[in-house]
Chain A
Amino acid sequence: MTSLNISNVSKSFGSARVLEDISLTINDGEFISLVGPSGCGKSTLLRIIAGLESQDAGTIALGERAIDGVRPSRRNLAMVFQSYALYPHLTVAQNIGVPLTMRQLSHWERLPVVGRFLPGAAAKRRIIRAAVEEAARSLDIGHLLDRKPGQLSGGQRQRVAVGRALVRQPEAFLLDEPLSNLDAKLRVHMRTEIAELHRTLGATFIYVTHDQAEAMTMSDRIAVMMHGRLLQVAPPHEVYSDPTNIAVAEFIGSPKINTFPAEVAGDGTAIVMGAALGRVQNGYRGAATIGVRPESLRIGQPPGRLAGTLRHVENLGNEYFLHVEVDGLPSRVVARVGHDHAPFSLGAPVGLDWPAGRAHVFDQAGGQIGRVNGAVSPFVGVVNG
């Protein structure tokens, strides 16, 4: 098997630019997630890889072999669709077998009734049947082979769709939001199953999702996309702890990262709403945004680094989300604290604090958040503490 190379791919629908100069190399056997909000172009990119759309510019190559203009069926890539796209008139066994029957049987051999009596057809069908049963067994749907998709639950249909991809032994699996039609509990379960399937098969998985939790939990690498651009491609922990862009920082992680408008003074001191918070060891000066993850925030006695008022508490059983209103900030700051935290009283003045090196600084080049060439992070060296 080989790597998949996407170079300088662009795509427009009419005047809407959906993909802008995407370049990405996906390694052999890697599980990569394309993640981003809806409309960011991730599904279009997947469909271009599959051959269901054609790009306006750029090249897709499997190893050295460019596959632009190659029919979807000849790319040796299997796809799992969001709606599963099972053929409702065929049984589960026939559904899983379709990629094999379409490839290995001739037109004549596929004819109903007559086809069965052609020399060699029966033997081919036996081989296909064996492959289908093997795939079904590995997905635990061996007992459903004679049912129609209409008689299956959502989770079972999902497995059939995966089985249909599996049976071809493709070079790579393309999965387009395969879990989004399942209920929350099943989704978490299938997350593990798909990750384990990937480990067992060792094949390349390209997984499109808008759910950052799916991307974080399953992937070797995450490719965060927004407005048709690739913002960051990195392993999950790196995307989380070292986002290159404020848009990435805000998209990955729940609850969302807290952001504060800031100013980096001439001597490198970061100032948030008049309070000097520390020093930025970087040449950057001027308007900036500081981002602090909810779990990095500590709630204590005022004043702390920033003073605010406790407005709301969300109890999740094992932890609390504390909503703190800070004067001059448009949205409330959310802190995530353990269950052993001291009791709170709503309306009480509190002080917000965070350890040195846990705040990310993002520049505001051209006044636009999200158009940064690398974040000025981490925020190091706390002075005036």
Chain B
Amino acid sequence: MANSGTQARAIPYLFSLPALLLILALLLLPMLISLGLSLTDYTLGAPDVEFVWFENFERIFTRSTYMKMLSATFWYVIIVVPGSIALGLGAALLINSLTVGKGFYRTVFFLPVMATLVAMAMVWEFMLHPTLGIVNEGLEGLCAVPGITAIGFFETGCADGFPHWLGERETALWVLCFIGIWQAVGFNMVLYMAGLTAIPRELYNAASVDGADSAWDRFRLVTWPMLGPTNVFVLTITAIRSFQAFDTVDMLTEGGPSKSTYVIMYAIFEKGVQQNLIGVGTAITVLFMAFVFLLTFLQRYLVERRVHYA
């Protein structure tokens, strides 16, 4: 009898064993390995490996290349996240207020999400070509408009040529941010539209009886608070996806000019894959994982507790 009791206790663990093994093999082990590798000077195919301890991390926080990496990543995230969230919410509110054509606008805004970003990046590259691209051609066309040179941007642009967008240190990162926002807005819009449908109509009725006369009042009293859970989700997802920006950088700038668009994902790729510096590459990866953990932690323990009203 005692034997069968032990068996009965063991059964639940047996059932969860396959899942545990898979989690271990596919998620935890690779993370531990990269954690270990980040402390070495390992390169693929090298005969011997040496522990260099925190030398890789020291490099990341002292060398100017990596400082540029952190700065580019920081600016990319700090611009794309609020930009795409605000525009996504705005688009969702506008589309939601429509009576006809909802499906049309939803599809149009969602197109960049469904399209392959690599292909889209190529189109952007054509459009942003310094001399042949539609952007600069269009801007040059505007030079014919009388008085437009009063605007500083056109004054220099019409005289000395418009910026080379992806080829200049001052503009490249902002152009990438713009494309990042363009791509993320549709996704955020769909999430917000789902969030908006979940708000009970009676709350809006109550708000208008209670004196919330303007659209802004209703937004402040009902829409924004009720979107709390959606906000947290959208914020986390967008932040993580912005940290992961890679395709456009690889296609359009390769981190340049002069490391101005050297975002963290691209740095991992360049160090770890292209230059075969696995040690440094994994060290950056560990840093990246730390960011993502921090974000997830923030979502889980700080924000989520304050936005669910159950």
Contact = CB atoms under 8 A, between A and B. Distances in A.
Interface in A57-79: 71-73, 77-79
A81 interface: yes
A347 interface: no
A78 B209 contact: yes
B211 A150 contact: no
B250 to A, nearest CB: 43
A85 B203 CA distance: 5
Interface string B213-230: 100010011100110100
Tell me the dominant secondary structure on chain B's binding face: helix
Interface residues of A, number: 28
A110 B222 CA distance: 15
Contacts of B228: 89
Interface stretch (A24-32, A98-106, A248-256): A98-106
Given A81-B206, A87-B203, A102 B211 contact: yes
Contacts of A72: 205, 208-209
Interface in B190-211: 200, 202-203, 205-206, 208-211
Contact of A149 (B202, B220, B221, B309): B309
Nearest to A97: B210
A100 B193 CA distance: 31
Contacts of B158: none
Nearest to A71: B213
A18 B209 CA distance: 23
A50 to B, nearest CB: 6
A103 B202 CA distance: 20
Contacts of A79: 205-206, 209
A164 interface: yes
B54 to A, nearest CB: 43
A50 B210 CA distance: 11
A52 B221 CA distance: 17
A83 interface: yes
Contact of B211 (A52, A73, A90, A148): A73
B212 interface: yes
A52 B208 CA distance: 8
A71 B309 CA distance: 30
A232 interface: no
A73 B212 contact: yes
A294 B212 CA distance: 51
Given A88-B226, A89-B225, A148 B309 contact: yes
A85 B202 contact: yes
B225 A73 contact: no
B213 A52 contact: no
A88 B210 contact: no
B210 A164 contact: yes
Contact of A50 (B200, B209, B225, B309): B209
A241 interface: no
B212 A150 contact: no
A178 to B, nearest CB: 12
A156 interface: no
A102 B208 CA distance: 10
B206 A88 contact: no
A82 interface: yes
A73 B309 contact: no
Nearest to B222: A87
Nearest to A90: B225
B115 interface: no
Interface centre among A81, A86, A89, A149 (most CB of B within 10 A): A89
Given A72-B208, A85-B205, A102 B200 contact: no
Contacts of B205: 47, 50, 52, 72, 79, 81, 85
10 contacts: A52-B205, A72-B205, A72-B209, A85-B203, A90-B225, A98-B210, A98-B211, A102-B217, A150-B309, A150-B310
Q: Which 5 A-B pairs have the closest CB atoms?
A: A102-B211, A88-B309, A85-B206, A89-B225, A73-B211
